[in-house]
């Protein structure tokens, strides 16, 4: 006689969502991933954020078919009572299965080869301009080329963190350290830690680090309540300094983006020298040391301090374009407060992202992230296929009456500035209550 199944309710599953006790449901089966969280390639944070609930759609999004065979060793023997799947999730999983049958997750094209060639070319021309030319204009252009190099290395670092861009894991790791740590000065370990949290909790004000820029920026007045960041594990205080800075954020946005790279440099060092578990910490630190050796040395070869500053500023300003692109995809989209929910994965990902409309010949400029909705739904999908799958995603959104948000690059900039301006005016209103009271009294005075 077959053994009867054991079931637990959703309420009971929700009790297992704290460090040291992490259970998740996938296809109605309950898995204990407590111990696995210490070795999970994506880090412990995604498991912690999705624990205590159904995480099937997130698992489908981030894991190849081979990962399913490893689930059994975490099976608790329990099944989720009254397990059901929404029509949106059914269609999303079918679409993912179809893309897998088409081998789209494995066919990576020649983009990596082209990117490496461009990176090498930009590096050689930039170094040649500094060492072999005396013109200040050439030195300025060399700094700009260095910025373009960082942008392209950023796209490759991003891709290699989501899927294997090289022929083997070892070569993939080499590409990560080379393009991220050595050439750009950004820890790939920090990026994966940050970026995985962003994907799991897309546009959650208290769980998504990509929206946590207090005291400089606030995309929603909800941040005025001094929310706690569950990523940085600190309170995002909306004090008088934050109010002042946020009040002018629509004016300071572009200047800050020009030098946003400084923050990434700092965040990389903060993580690597913290007590957090960082895989291959030695490699990460060595890669940063390589960057902080060759880049200052190259800058020192310029003839005077004026041109050195000019070179650094040019490289920072040009790469600021990429920081703006990151913001355009999310700043003007819907936000929410609270942890991510596995039950509305598709809806949250589409509602919190914005596609950038552009011609195919501009794909190199956006690094594939102009298809941000497609990328968030299928993060393992090589960027060369994102334009191809876009019509399928649009059709799925249309079928279920979900918004498919898209805008031109310039319109997206206007939307982002509009979002920042709206929050800025609300911050001014909070910080300057006296004029409001005077107007109220003048309007309501009798006699």
| Strand ranges of the sheet holding 6-8, from the earlier edge strand across to the other edge | 6-8, 75-80, 29-32, 21-26, 17-18
DSSP states of 209-275: GGG--TTT--SSGGGGG-PEETTTTEE----HHHHHHHHTHHHHHHHHHHTTHHHHHHHHHHHHTSS
Q: Are 124 and 183 in contact (CB under 8 A)?
A: no
Of 362 and 109, the structure prediction assigns the larger pLDDT to 362
User: How far is the C-alpha of 308 from the C-alpha of 302, rounded, in Å?
Assistant: 6
User: How far is the C-alpha of 84 from the C-alpha of 387, rounded, in Å?
Assistant: 32
User: How far is the C-alpha of 386 from the C-alpha of 105, rounded, in Å?
Assistant: 11
Strand partners, 29: 26, 79
Residue 282 has pLDDT above 90, yes or no: yes
> What Rg do the C-alpha atoms of the chain give, in angstroms?
24
Helix ranges, 133-239 (H): 136-162, 169-176, 183-184, 188-200
Predicted structure pTM score: 0.91
Strand partners, 387: none
Largest CA distance in the chain: 90
User: How far is the C-alpha of 192 from the C-alpha of 81, rounded, in Å?
Assistant: 34
Q: Please report which confidence band the pLDDT of residue 440 belongs to, taking 50, 70 and 90 as the band edges.
A: very low
Decide yes or no: CATH 3.10.120.10 for domain 6-84.
yes
Cβ-proximal residues to 304 (8 Å cutoff; 6+ apart), any chain: none
pLDDT tens-digit map of 205-264: 999 999 999 999 999 999 999 999 999 999 999 999 999 999 999 999 999 999 999 999
Would you say how long the chain is, in residues? 447
Please choose, from the candidates 93, 89, 90, the residue with its C-alpha nearest in 3D space to the C-alpha of residue 101: 93
pLDDT tens-digit map of 329-368: 999 999 999 999 888 899 999 999 999 999 988 888 898 8
Domain locations in the chain?
Answer: 6-84, 110-329
User: How far is the C-alpha of 72 from the C-alpha of 264, rounded, in Å?
Assistant: 39
pLDDT tens-digit map of 380-436: 999 999 999 999 999 999 999 999 999 999 999 999 999 999 999 999 886 554 334
Residue 446 has pLDDT above 70, yes or no: no
Please choose, from the candidates 416, 136, 103, 59, the residue with its C-alpha nearest in 3D space to the C-alpha of residue 256: 416
């Amino acid at each position: 006689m077959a053994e009867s199944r054991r079931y637990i309710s959703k309420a009971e599953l929700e009790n297992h969502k704290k460090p040291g006790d992490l259970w998740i449901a996938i296809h109605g089966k309950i898995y204990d991933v407590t111990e696995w969280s210490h070795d999970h390639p994506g880090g412990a944070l995604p498991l912690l954020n999705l624990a205590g609930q159904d995480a099937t759609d997130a698992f489908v999004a981030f894991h190849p078919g081979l990962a399913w065979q490893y689930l059994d060793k975490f099976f608790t023997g329990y099944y989720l009572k009254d397990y059901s799947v929404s029509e949106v999730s059914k269609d999303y999983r079918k679409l993912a299965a179809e893309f897998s049958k088409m081998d789209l997750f494995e066919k990576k094209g020649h983009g990596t080869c082209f990117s490496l060639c461009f990176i090498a070319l930009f590096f050689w021309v930039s170094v040649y301009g500094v060492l072999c030319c005396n013109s200040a204009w050439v030195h300025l252009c060399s700094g700009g080329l260095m910025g373009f190099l960082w942008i392209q290395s950023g796209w490759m670092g991003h891709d290699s963190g989501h899927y294997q861009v090289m022929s083997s894991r070892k070569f993939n790791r080499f590409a990560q350290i080379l393009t991220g740590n050595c050439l750009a000065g950004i820890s790939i370990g920090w990026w994966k830690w940050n970026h995985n949290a962003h994907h799991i909790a897309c546009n959650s004000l208290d769980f998504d680090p990509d929206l946590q820029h207090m005291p400089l920026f606030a995309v929603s007045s909800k941040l005025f309540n001094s929310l706690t960041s569950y990523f940085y594990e600190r309170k995002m205080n909306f004090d008088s300094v934050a109010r002042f800075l946020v009040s002018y954020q629509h004016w300071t946005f572009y200047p800050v983006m020009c030098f946003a790279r400084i923050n990434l440099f700092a965040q990389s060092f903060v993580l690597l020298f913290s007590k957090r578990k960082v895989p291959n910490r030695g490699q990460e630190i060595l890669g940063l040391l390589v960057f902080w050796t060759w880049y200052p040395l190259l800058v020192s070869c310029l003839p005077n301090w004026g041109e050195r500053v000019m070179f650094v500023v040019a490289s920072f300003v040009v790469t600021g374009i990429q920081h703006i692109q990151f913001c355009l995809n999310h700043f003007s989209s819907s936000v929410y407060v609270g942890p991510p929910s596995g039950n509305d994965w598709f809806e949250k990902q589409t509602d919190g992202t914005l596609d950038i409309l552009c011609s195919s010949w501009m794909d190199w400029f956006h690094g594939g992230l102009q298809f941000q909705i497609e990328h968030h739904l299928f993060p393992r999908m090589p960027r060369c296929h994102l334009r191809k799958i876009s019509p399928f995603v649009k059709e799925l959104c249309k079928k279920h009456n979900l918004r498919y948000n898209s805008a031109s690059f310039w319109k997206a900039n206007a939307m982002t500035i509009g979002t920042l301006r709206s929050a800025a005016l609300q911050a001014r209103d909070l910080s300057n209550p006296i004029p409001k009271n005077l107007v109220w009294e003048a309007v309501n005075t009798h006699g």
